[in-house]
Amino acid sequence: MGIGSRSSTNRKPSDSMRLIMTTFVGIVFGFFIGVSFPALTTKLNLPSSLLPAIDISYIQEKYAGGNAPSFVKNNNSISSKHQLINDTLKIWVPSNPRGAERLPPEIIEAETDLYLRRLWGQPSEDLTSKPKYLVTFTVGYSQRYNIDANVKKFSENFTIVLFHYDGKTTEWGEFEWSKRAIHVSVRKQTKWWYAKRFLHPDIVAPYDYIFIWDEDLGVEHFNAEEYLKLVKKHGLEISQPGLEPNKGLTWQMTKRRGDREVHKETEEKPGWCSDPHLPPCAAFVEIMAPVFSRDAWHCVWHMIQNDLVHGWGLDFALRKCVEPAHEKIGVVDSQWIIHQSVPSLGNQGESQSGKAPWQGLNLPYGLLHLSCIQEKYIDSSITSQDQFPSDATKIWVPTNPRGAERLPPGIVNAESDLFLRRLWGLPSEDLTFKPKYLVTFTVGYEQKKNIDAAVKKFSKDFTILLFHYDGRTTEWDEFEWSKQAIHVSVHKQTKWWYAKRFLHPDIVVPYDYIFMWDEDLGVENFNAEEYLKLVRKHGLEISQPALEPSKSTKAVCWNMTRRREHSEVHKEAVEPGKCKYPLLPPCAAFVEIMAPVFSRNAWRCVWHMIQNEFVHGWGLDFAFRKCVEPAHEKIGVVDAQWIVHQGIPSLGNQGEAQTTGKPAWRAVKERCGMEWRMFQGRLTNAEKGYYKSKGIDFSNLLVHN
């Protein structure tokens, strides 16, 4: 008894201590489990019954085609009932380019190029070389021989771009180099109008130097490669070749000097220069033949005003973009040109009040443009509060667009438009109305009648833009609407190649909706204005007209895009055996790439997702959903306005027969499939990279098919 009594007495404190310790450890363990629960659920393959608060539908959206967490596959029934804890899995990157915040950073292509791509073969093998420089000429066909002489002064290190103000482009095919050039044709538009719309800094980013030249320059004593050697040697960011002094000069600064390679300052007439380091005595080149470094162009582009098309006044303001301007702006004397002063642009004007056409383009409106830009610059400089701390007279605005920090915010035009301007009259009176929508067609001339029928379904509220893959543009003038359209012609390039280069979000920003259509669509039962009414009514950000399967020459591949009778719009479909998740493509959040329609905001995101070397766009249709939220509600098919897919293999016919003996169309199709797989791989890896950067380990949750 005594032992038992002693034993009992000794155990009670020990048991109590164990109970206390067990309780304490349990509380601590439970606390850490509670705190760590969100992280644990991303690392462990937990049963769905233990995850009542996880938004399964959102995770489904992140992993299409089988790349989904296993607990999602085990339970679809709760897919739309619950909210993700703290939105842990949603992608939102504020440091991404504006509009692309929903994308993982590694998939974003914020800059592109003007390199021509093949339609077949490995994308990585498309380019045997990458041009380092860009030269543009604004031309009329009557100056073709002079331009031919100019182009021959530029080596294969240059991409050639011609801006056509007279509507004649096909005719340039007589020159072999023209078949590799990029042609943009818009009637009666100027060099600076073109430059603002088609030379966005994000598009020309690969080029070290950009030549923006007139058509009337004699180049007998000029060599582009030698010119650039001197530009680099003397540290010039903005330059021009010297002008032969015997051919009519306006400024002493741009007159060629025979005793030196480069000069950066001069003496002008008494009273012309208030400061020897300011224009026109220094820091000055003319607008007829300027050459910009990449960084300088970044700034100058933002200073070009959308409504001032002649560029007068820019020459005096270029100095705002480099520092110190009197050292980084100069004239190259040993590579010189002759200004032939051909009044070709003046002849594009119209007679006004009995005046000749050229008079409407010159005084007083030329001086009006000069005074306008000077007034805008002075006003915006006065109101700018951001300056260099060390120099109160210098402007530096970190919140300005990249490259334009030296400019006062009031002068910065970070966005543009595709509205056609007059060459005469007050700029404020150019536009009697502004189109609200944009429609693009990628076309060959053989489909002219089909495109004519399609264009007539779009009202004057639409800007019409044709991308020509066959090099034939002038022939389209048989249609009156073609003379007001914008034409871009590059041999054997695709819709998505064009879209990446010529539909930059900053350029198409005035348009509420952007239609990107193929050429082989029957539109008898389609009306664009009625279509957009339904798009707005149903809150669609990305859409397409339904496809009528009974009339389409080519079978409708997806039930999602098949027309439904007695329906305005549908957003979901049933695809037996093709859809693991009902709110993911191709059963929802899905349209095809033949006739998509994007809202302004959706396009800003989609543009950043298009990869530069993937020209066919395969895989994009399954990824559009990344750009809107919730995708299954904001992506849909409009049944009440429907089209017919005629299935004409025009693009395949632009391929080339392979040495393996494959027909052209098969090699193109193989490239399409290759791009699909590569794009899906990039997107998956980009999302993995994003989650890894956030400390979320998905390695145990991904199921790879």
pLDDT tens digits, one per residue of 214-227: 999 999 999 999 99
Considering only 194-198, 437-441, 467-471, 555-559, which range has the smallest mean pLDDT? Answer: 555-559
Q: Averaging pLDDT over each range in 321-325, 375-379, 701-705, which range is the top one?
A: 321-325
Residue 285, pLDDT above cutoff 50 = yes
The pLDDT assigned to 361 comes to: 52
Q: What is the pLDDT of residues 637-675, one digit of tens each?
A: 999 999 999 988 777 666 665 556 677 788 899 999 999
Residue 51, pLDDT above cutoff 50 = no
The pLDDT assigned to 654 comes to: 66
Task: Label residue 272 by pLDDT band (50, 70, 90).
Answer: confident
The pLDDT assigned to 88 comes to: 56
Give the global pTM: 0.84
Residue 66, pLDDT above cutoff 80 = no
φ, ψ at 255 (rounded to 5°):
-75, 135
Considering only 73-87, 242-256, 330-344, 359-373, which range has the smallest mean pLDDT? Answer: 73-87
CATH 3.90.550 is held by the domain 129-429: yes
Residue 468, CB-side half-sphere exposure with 13 Å CA sphere: 25
Overall CATH class of domain 437-687: alpha beta
CA distances to 12, 116, 340, 367, 571 from 315, in Å: 96, 32, 19, 13, 54
Per the listing, tokens 């007068």 go with: 312
The pLDDT assigned to 17 comes to: 46
Task: Label residue 57 by pLDDT band (50, 70, 90).
Answer: very low
Q: What is the pLDDT of residues 437-494, one digit of tens each?
A: 999 999 999 999 999 999 999 999 999 999 999 999 999 999 999 999 999 999 999 9
Per the listing, tokens 């991308």 go with: 467
Residue 197, pLDDT above cutoff 90 = yes
Q: What is the mean pLDDT of residues 4-24?
A: 41
Matching CATH topology for 129-429 and 437-687? yes
Cα gap 370→312, rounded to integer Å: 5
Residue 369, pLDDT above cutoff 90 = no
Cα gap 610→228, rounded to integer Å: 33
Residue 162, pLDDT above cutoff 80 = yes
112 vs 655, residue with greater confidence: 112
The pLDDT assigned to 248 comes to: 66
Q: What is the mean pLDDT of the chain?
A: 84
400 vs 694, residue with greater confidence: 400
Domain-wise residue ranges, the chain: 1-43, 129-429, 437-687
Cα gap 357→351, rounded to integer Å: 5
The pLDDT assigned to 568 comes to: 98
Q: What is the mean pLDDT of residues 527-535?
A: 98
Cα gap 466→472, rounded to integer Å: 11
CA distances to 12, 58, 252, 631, 665 from 589, in Å: 66, 12, 63, 5, 30
Exposed/middle/buried for residue 183 (C-beta within 10 Å: 0-12, 13-18, 19+): buried
Residue 352, pLDDT above cutoff 80 = no
CA distances to 126, 217, 283, 371, 378 from 316, in Å: 42, 21, 8, 11, 13
Residue 77, pLDDT above cutoff 50 = no
Cα gap 21→27, rounded to integer Å: 10
Cα gap 630→579, rounded to integer Å: 18
The pLDDT assigned to 350 comes to: 61
Q: What is the mean pLDDT of residues 673-694?
A: 95
The pLDDT assigned to 469 comes to: 96
The pLDDT assigned to 549 comes to: 85
Question: With contact defined as beta carbons under 8 Å apart, do 667 and 557 qualify?
Answer: no
Question: With contact defined as beta carbons under 8 Å apart, do 443 and 517 qualify?
Answer: no
Question: With contact defined as beta carbons under 8 Å apart, do 493 and 117 qualify?
Answer: yes
Cα gap 132→668, rounded to integer Å: 28
Residue 37, pLDDT above cutoff 50 = no
Considering only 45-54, 219-228, 317-326, which range has the smallest mean pLDDT? Answer: 45-54
Q: What is the pLDDT of residues 596-615, one digit of tens each?
A: 999 999 999 999 999 999 99
pLDDT more than 70, % of the chain: 77
The pLDDT assigned to 1 comes to: 37
DSSP string, 360-423: HHSTTHHHHHHHHHHHHHHHHHHH---EETTEEEEE--TTSPTT-TTS-GGG-----------S
Question: With contact defined as beta carbons under 8 Å apart, do 63 and 702 qualify?
Answer: yes
Task: Label residue 32 by pLDDT band (50, 70, 90).
Answer: very low
Task: Label residue 375 by pLDDT band (50, 70, 90).
Answer: low
